[in-house]
Amino acid sequence: MTKKYTSTLTDAQWQIIENKLPEQMVSRKRKWTLRILFDYILYVLKNGCVWADIPCEFPPSSTVYYYFKTWRDNGLLECLSQELGGDYRELIGKNRSPSVGLIDSQSVKNTAVSGQSDCGYDGGKKIKGRKRHLLVDTLGLIIVAWVTAADWQDRDAGSWLFAKLYLNRFDFPRLKTFFADGGYRGKLVHFVKKCYQNLGWNLKIVKKPENINTFVVLPMRWIVERTNAWNDNYRRLSKDYERKTESVEAFLYLAQIRLLAIRCEKL
């Protein structure tokens, strides 16, 4: 396929993604190929346009959105992101399952569309919108994403993040130690120790040095900030434009899928 846009996948990148798709999904006959549908969903992610404004040579916007919605709701994008993440770790000589997880959140301004539901005001950051809670490995690859209103406390959202991870625990058997900032201290540390003691999970708080009022780079925490910076390169993620928090999570996983396809191609 001729590369038309910066978001268009190369042949090698598409092959990496296609190899991880279910056989019945690849073999099914359809009017538009899976590659075309992926390319045009990536176009929306990269360029930030609304579904109705995708270029005329694309499939109908209703068709493209239908497949995005289907893959969002059936968990395909999350699963594909995790599978490619494991492949990439193995390609660079690491164990497929990380042993350390890093947690942090990012408050993002909303728009008139996303402001209709699941939004709040983050008094600390003075941002009205939503909050993206990420659990990443030491490479900055997303393990679990959870999106809430911006007025959620980190420690409250953290318990849901761990609950979501618990459902995928068999995919990350080595994951035991977690690092987070002071916003997660207190009852969340005890919650993790009590509820997931049989798994050996341990949440550690990375505290800012006392008597320092200026910005300092704290161990481990900067890795999540870098992941947020990667996501900010996609205009659809530069603000919160989505009606549903599930769509934000799906775009986060989709951004990682593209990142990993590019990285694996270069190895």
Residue 211 has pLDDT above 80, yes or no: no
- Give the domain extent around 180: 98-238
Strand partners, 144: 135
pTM above 0.85, yes or no: yes
Bridge-based pairing state of the strands 202-205 and 177-180: parallel
- Residue 167 CA: distances (Å) to CA of 81, 116, 161, 250: 16, 30, 10, 17
221-245 pLDDT, tens digit each: 789 999 999 999 999 999 999 999 9
Q: Classify residue 206: in a domain, yes or no.
A: yes
What is the C-alpha separation between 95 and 168, in angstroms, rounded? Answer: 17
What is the C-alpha separation between 131 and 193, in angstroms, rounded? Answer: 25
- Residue 194 CA: distances (Å) to CA of 8, 13, 154: 47, 43, 18
Number of other residues whose CB lies within 10 A of the CB of residue 126:
8
158-170 pLDDT, tens digit each: 999 999 999 999 9
Q: Classify residue 110: in a domain, yes or no.
A: yes
- Give the CATH number for residue 231: 3.30.420
pLDDT of residue 75: 96
Q: Classify residue 259: in a domain, yes or no.
A: no
Number of other residues whose CB lies within 10 A of the CB of residue 96:
15
Residue 13 has pLDDT above 80, yes or no: yes
Query: How many distinct structural domains can be found in the chain?
Result: 1
Residue predicted with more confidence, 206 or 95 = 95
- Per-residue tokens: 201: 């999970």
pLDDT of residue 215: 62
Q: Classify residue 21: in a domain, yes or no.
A: no
pLDDT confidence band for 182 (50 / 70 / 90): confident
Q: Classify residue 265: in a domain, yes or no.
A: no
Q: Classify residue 254: in a domain, yes or no.
A: no
Q: Classify residue 130: in a domain, yes or no.
A: yes
Residue 117 has pLDDT above 90, yes or no: no
Residue 216 has pLDDT above 70, yes or no: no
Nearest by Cα to 100 from 147, 135, 134, 145: 135
What is the C-alpha separation between 75 and 12, in angstroms, rounded? Answer: 24
Q: Classify residue 41: in a domain, yes or no.
A: no
pLDDT of residue 219: 67
